[in-house]
Amino acid sequence: MYNNRIIRTKKSLWLFDEKSRLRLFLLKVTEHEWFNEIVMLVIVMNSIAIALYDHSLQRQGLNQVLFKLSVVFCSIYTLEAIARIIANGFVIGKNTYLRSLANAFDFLIVVVSIAQIVIKVFATR
């Protein structure tokens, strides 16, 4: 424990030690009560955007806006994952990011979302 924060590994990503300012800052941010509330709000907004998608492809303008929003949401989720990975460590060590089933699922969703965006961008060229 360091400054009332649980340090999960001695070094996160073999770069950030227990006293790293960035790591301590990200621990403080990711463990703050509002952080998860903001992430949940983004998930709700993303769910609404997904529900609005026009699968009949008759409203291309709306779908283009929703695609841009999906890129924004994916960026937020990616930044969240990066922050948690730096704060907690990735996989090696007790209580690291991927040791949590919820975080592992979130990471899978982020990877799939990034792949989906890349495929869509290259498919439309």
CA end-to-end distance (rounded Å), the chain: 51
The 3-state DSSP composition of the chain as helix, strand, coil percent (nearest 5) reads: 70, 5, 25
Where are the extended beta strands (E) located within 1-125? 11-12, 16-17
Tokens of 63: 């779908």
Structural domains of the chain ordered from first start: 11-123 (1.20.120.350)
pLDDT tens digits, one per residue of 69-102:
999 999 999 999 999 999 999 998 888 999 999 9
What's the mean pLDDT when you consider all of the chain? 90
Q: What's the chain's Rg over C-alpha atoms?
A: 17
pLDDT at 79: 97
